[in-house]
Structure 1
Amino acid sequence: MSKLLRTGQHSLLFFFLIFSAEVVGAQSSATNKQSLRLFLIGNSFSQNATKYLPQLSKEGGHELVIGRAEIGGSSLQRHWDHVEAAERDPNDPKGKPYNGKSLKMLLSDGVWDVVTIQQASILSGDVSTYEPYARNLYNYVKKLQPNAQVVFHQTWAYRIDSNDFSRIAPGDSAKNAQQMWEKSRAAYHTTAHELNIPIIPNGDAFWRVNSSKKWGFQKDNSFDYNSAKAPALPNQAKSLHMGYRWDKEKLAFDSHHANDAGCYLGALVWYGFLYHESPKKLTFRPNSVDEAFARQLKKAAWTSVRKVR
């Protein structure tokens, strides 16, 4: 056998060994891939904001586990009141508001990487409503999950045609959506700074879209709201909120909660924040959100995440 042939065989063997090692390494990496374990202490707004997060995470190649301690309309104080009830008496039903479980029971189910807290949207503009409950919850989470990162989920302002806006001080409410966003943003940032925790900027992303001349929602002033008959509805294009819908024979209005587009925007923000990568590459979108609007929502989400970091 010639020296050249032996050299060639050795080179081929070396290449095969390196290639095999890379394949095994990749398989091992895929097998040992760690899930991100996310736990939410919130309400319907945290449900809205994470509705499409599993789909986005899957498309992005991320394994996600979500735990929830959510009560509709719940404030920081209410969550803490339930904790105190459970600590006084583990058998007190008041301490087990989460489908018969306490916050301690839910948080103790495995190890959580990220735990989020948030204020009830109607109180979000009044910084005096955050303490001592935000700090109490923070300390409680860190006691049970010392390695978890506690994060503030910044909720959003109501739709511009809402009939009510958040409290901004005792006995005083915001006059419009912009003031609600400004006051709630300040309250979230003040408290987050005191606790030294980061913020998921959903409120900023919502306002970035809503305040846009091109992409923001505009009320349909040509619609007769007082004499409307089913199934007629006003033009609600580019709305991020539920808005008007028919509930039997009644024209119902929800200016607070997110619709599909708002839930999509919320999940895009969470994706960018949690994984430190742009959601603009993702193709998933709800069927009710058109491609052009979806592109703008992805841009707004990523811009908001980058600005808050």
Structure 2
Amino acid sequence: MIKRNSFVFFLVLLSVEVAFTQSRNNDSERPLRLFMIGNSFSQNASKYLPELSKEGGHALVIGRAEIGGSSLQRHWDHAEASEQNPDDPKGKPYGGKSLKTLLAERTWDVVTIQQASILSGDVETYRPYARKLYEYVKKLQPNATVVFHETWAYRTDSKDFSRITQGDSAKNAQQMWEHLRAAYHTIADELSIPIIPNGDAFWRINSSSKWAYKADNQFDPRQATSPSLPDQTHSLHVGYWWNKDKLAFDSHHANAAGCYLGGLVWYSFLFGESPVKLTYRPAEVDAAFARQLKKTAWKTVKNEKKKYRYVVSH
């Protein structure tokens, strides 16, 4: 466990909490303005956040600078290209706009950054790009709270752990989670920023004896014919699906349940309140599993707050 309970760190995060809370209280009619610098994982995790926020009575505006599979380095490289030459197409990858342009469109309360999942367990891939992005955001949005969005490990039956390279030698989902968690927390320590613990929430479910997805060993993908699929009960990842007449497999991205859990974690973190009372759930998620996901999201965020004494609240 990486410890970060120094008095200085506590004061920094406490000042962030107080300043942000006072700002929200002084302008209670104004929506929370959230900006995400990310990729498909931030899209997954925030898919249902608007519905959850609306039911909870919290107005929310979301801005996005997202590129599929993008790493911290790639986002920074685009920002740097824009700074060097505002007309360089490389600096405008977000629908023809630069990160600077998108950040300048309004005042943002919270800005999130995250690493690409394939690099998430290698702390050296975060440096120096996380700090460069952090400083860039704070220069353009000095009053924004910059937050790390912790991504999640791949599904336990993923074939892609061997593709995780560089400084991460994860051989399975548990190792991938352990390594990415350590990396996110190490860099968060260096920047004194909080973490949205989605990766931890995913692992709470994926390591549960009752609620974890268990691979269907009776299913042979080599012999499968449409529309036959394995039992994927309680999976948080897309898993097997039919793309027309071809069987596809996605062990990385979140399915409806995973997107729902992601949104519940974001809700708990941003508004500092339990989502257990909320009734919204995607049709694909059964009621019993939805209840467990709500409890898990809140417990995970509470543990993060208890250990590190921060929260961005409404």
- Do Structure 1 and Structure 2 share a fold, with TM-score over 0.5? yes
Displacement after TM superposition at 1:35 (Å): 0.5
CA distance in structure 1 between the aligned counterparts of 2:88 and 2:68, rounded to whole angstroms = 20
Which residue in the other structure is 2:199 paired with?
203
CA distance in structure 2 between the aligned counterparts of 1:304 and 1:167, rounded to whole angstroms = 29
Letter paired with 2:253: H
Which residue in the other structure is 2:159 paired with?
163
Displacement after TM superposition at 1:166 (Å): 7.8
- From the superposition, tell whether residues 32 and 150 of structure 1 become closer, same or farther in structure 2 (CA, over 3 Å): closer
Cα pair 1:121 1:166 within 8 Å, conserved: no
Letter paired with 2:68: G
Partner deviation per Cα, 1:21-76 (whole Å, 9 max, x = no partner)? xxxxxxxx9x9611000000000000000000000000000000000000000000
The two structures have a TM-score, normalised by structure 2, of 0.87
The one of 220, 230, 246 equivalent to 1:250 is: 246
Which residue in the other structure is 1:259 paired with?
255
Letter paired with 1:159: R
- What is the total number of aligned residue pairs between the two structures? 280
Give 1 or 2 for the bigger CA radius of gyration. 1
Partner deviation per Cα, 1:166-192 (whole Å, 9 max, x = no partner)? 876626531000000000000000000
3-state DSSP of counterpart to 1:281: coil
CA distance in structure 1 between the aligned counterparts of 2:139 and 2:132, rounded to whole angstroms = 11
Cα pair 1:125 1:169 within 8 Å, conserved: no
CA distance in structure 2 between the aligned counterparts of 1:277 and 1:113, rounded to whole angstroms = 18
Cα pair 2:188 2:194 within 8 Å, conserved: yes
Letter paired with 1:212: S
Displacement after TM superposition at 1:214 (Å): 0.4
The one of 89, 107, 110 equivalent to 1:111 is: 107
5 Å-filtered alignment, 1:16-165, equals 33-165=29-161
CA distance in structure 2 between the aligned counterparts of 1:243 and 1:131, rounded to whole angstroms = 32
The two structures have a TM-score, normalised by structure 1, of 0.89
Partner deviation per Cα, 1:115-157 (whole Å, 9 max, x = no partner)? 0000000000000000100000000000000000000000000
3-state DSSP of counterpart to 1:203: helix
Letter paired with 2:278: L
Cα pair 1:125 1:167 within 8 Å, conserved: no
Displacement after TM superposition at 1:249 (Å): 1.9
Partner deviation per Cα, 1:209-254 (whole Å, 9 max, x = no partner)? 0100100000000112211111100000100000000112211000
Percent identity over the alignment?
A: 74
Which residue in the other structure is 1:6 paired with?
none
Question: Structure 1, unaligned stretches of length 5 or more?
Answer: 1-28
Which residue in the other structure is 1:270 paired with?
266
- From the superposition, tell whether residues 141 and 167 of structure 1 become closer, same or farther in structure 2 (CA, over 3 Å): farther
Matched, 1:233 2:229: yes
Which residue in the other structure is 1:16 paired with?
none
CA distance in structure 2 between the aligned counterparts of 1:134 and 1:260, rounded to whole angstroms = 29
CA distance in structure 1 between the aligned counterparts of 2:67 and 2:162, rounded to whole angstroms = 19
Which residue in the other structure is 2:179 paired with?
183
Partner deviation per Cα, 1:263-294 (whole Å, 9 max, x = no partner)? 00000000000000001110000011011000
CA distance in structure 1 between the aligned counterparts of 2:172 and 2:251, rounded to whole angstroms = 12
Cα pair 1:166 1:180 within 8 Å, conserved: no
Cα pair 1:124 1:168 within 8 Å, conserved: no
- Between 1 and 2, higher relative CO (CA 8 Å, sep ≥ 6) is seen in 2
- From the superposition, tell whether residues 247 and 169 of structure 1 become closer, same or farther in structure 2 (CA, over 3 Å): closer
RMSD across aligned positions (CA): 1.4
- From the superposition, tell whether residues 32 and 216 of structure 1 become closer, same or farther in structure 2 (CA, over 3 Å): closer
- From the superposition, tell whether residues 276 and 172 of structure 1 become closer, same or farther in structure 2 (CA, over 3 Å): closer
CA distance in structure 2 between the aligned counterparts of 1:266 and 1:172, rounded to whole angstroms = 24
